[in-house]
Chain A
């Protein structure tokens, strides 16, 4: 019984998967707290899809794939900003136009360039196929992102919470804007191998929401978000070993489960707490 339960840990690919998953989970979760406050969930979605042409072009040129992915992710954000500023179309619409345009272009050139890249792995991740060099790359990109975010966490927090106030006390909000975008693009690149383009956005939104429901202060929010994300990636990879189900899918479903639990049971903001508070505040009925 115990042997069966420990079996996954005997395989190097499972150990690599869990380690990479934990790093990616933690980095995404930290960033997700800022994105949830800033209202940038769609931005994560957009940048993650937009990396596709960068990967294909980098492959064709023989450049590092991560570099191409980062470049085209950032290009998506910059183009969105430019078109938004110079036309009357709403921001969410512009973003939808730009990221799908880049993704579609990526698909078209993918069919024209003979590659040994697997589209499925780019779209849905391939956490069980992560090797040593992937692990080092993930560690490097994730580590740098994490250090930058934590070093600037107060400035970024103020920027996300109240950009106007941040500007008035002398923070360079333009710089912070592009910094946060770059961090987002870097995180997406680091997460690609683990969860793939389509589900990165879950890693970039759900943990922050869980933290938001459970905590009142930003420190605990960060801790709860990363804790839940690391737990989900580890247990998701573990469950998929036994069930043969898609690892990325399992990871995200476990996150959803945690979100649902937080939604119902959160001590202050949960559905039950809300009901309880309402019952408490109902004025006593006059007797007779």
Chain B
């Protein structure tokens, strides 16, 4: 029995995949606390799709994928900002137009050079087949993200919670906006490797949302979210040995299951707690 459970761990690629997934899961979960407070879920989804042409070009040209992805992600963010400032269109519509355009461009590029890059790898992730060079890129992205978040988390928190007060206190709101956007693009690039473009938004939102249901203090929220993100990623990557390599699917299904549990059973903000309060009031 125990032998059977340890089978996945006998393969070097599985151990690598599990550890890298855990790292990315933790970093994304840390950031997700800010993203959910700021209401930037759509932005996370958009950037994760918008990086696809960059990844395609980088693979075709033999450059580091993270650089290409990061560049197109920022380009998309700038494009959205520009169109938003120049038209009366709603923000969500602008985001929708821009990210689908980028994604379509990526799709066309990949279909023209099918040999150099596999579309499925990008859209669904392929952590089981990750190369050492890609692991290094992810490690660097994670280290930089964690350092910036560690140094600036108080300012970022205030910015996410109440931008006006942040401005009134003399914080550079514009710089914070771009810092958060850059971090989002960077983590989206890293998460692309584990869960793929379609599911990046989950690891950037679900841990934060779950933690938000469980606590009222931001420090605790970060701790809960990061633990959950790391834990689900480790277990999900492990479980994907039995699920034909659908690592992203396993990780995100686990995260969603935990969110649902929190939604129902959270001590203060859960469904049952609210029901009990209503009954007590009657």
Q: Does A282 contact B (CB under 8 A)?
A: no
Task: Using known A-B contacts A104-B249, A105-B249, determine if residue A88 contacts B213 with beta carbons closer than 8 Å.
Answer: yes
Task: Using known A-B contacts A92-B42, A198-B123, determine if residue A104 contacts B252 with beta carbons closer than 8 Å.
Answer: yes
**Per-residue A-contact encoding for B49-87, CB less than 8 Å = 1, 0 else:** 100000000000000000000000000000000010011
Q: Tell me what chain A mostly uses at the interface: helix, strand, loop, or mixed.
A: helix
Q: Does A171 contact B (CB under 8 A)?
A: no
Interface size class of A (residues with CB under 8 A): 35 or more
Q: Which residues of A contact B112 (CB under 8 A)?
A: 243-245
Q: Which residues of B contact A252 (CB under 8 A)?
A: 100-101, 103-104, 107
Residue of A nearest to B244 (CB): A111
Separation in Å of the B205 CB from the closest CB of chain A? 4
In whole angstroms, how far apart are the Cα atoms of A87 and B104 in the complex? 35
Task: Using known A-B contacts A49-B198, A120-B119, A198-B198, determine if residue A209 contacts B108 with beta carbons closer than 8 Å.
Answer: no
B97 touches A198 (CB 8 A): no
Stretch at the interface among A38-46, A66-74, A139-147, A180-188: A38-46
In whole angstroms, how far apart are the Cα atoms of A105 and B205 in the complex? 17
Q: Which residues of A contact B265 (CB under 8 A)?
A: none
In whole angstroms, how far apart are the Cα atoms of A110 and B243 in the complex? 9
A249 touches B249 (CB 8 A): no
Task: Using known A-B contacts A49-B198, A209-B89, determine if residue A249 contacts B212 with beta carbons closer than 8 Å.
Answer: no
Please pick, from A40, A95, A107, the residue contacting B41 in the complex, using a CB distance under 8 A. A95
Interface size class of B (residues with CB under 8 A): 35 or more
Task: Using known A-B contacts A97-B256, A108-B243, A263-B83, determine if residue A103 contacts B198 with beta carbons closer than 8 Å.
Answer: yes
Q: Does B21 contact A (CB under 8 A)?
A: no
Separation in Å of the A157 CB from the closest CB of chain B? 16
**Per-residue B-contact encoding for A96-134, CB less than 8 Å = 1, 0 else:** 111011011111101110000001100110000000000
Task: Using known A-B contacts A94-B209, A108-B253, determine if residue A256 contacts B89 with beta carbons closer than 8 Å.
Answer: no
Spell out B's residues near A (CB within 8 Å): 36, 39, 41-42, 44-45, 49, 83, 86-90, 92-97, 100-101, 103-108, 110-112, 119-120, 123-124, 198-199, 201-202, 205-206, 208-209, 212-213, 243-246, 248-253, 255-256, 259-260, 263, 269-271, 274
26 contacts between A and B (CB under 8 A): A41-B90, A42-B42, A45-B96, A90-B41, A92-B41, A93-B209, A96-B44, A96-B45, A100-B199, A100-B205, A103-B252, A107-B246, A107-B248, A124-B119, A198-B49, A199-B103, A199-B104, A205-B97, A243-B112, A244-B111, A249-B104, A249-B106, A250-B108, A251-B104, A253-B108, A274-B86
Extra contacts besides A87-B271, A107-B249, A245-B112 (16): CB < 8 Å: A39-B93, A41-B92, A41-B96, A45-B42, A93-B36, A93-B205, A96-B206, A100-B198, A101-B256, A103-B198, A103-B252, A107-B248, A123-B198, A206-B101, A244-B112, A255-B101
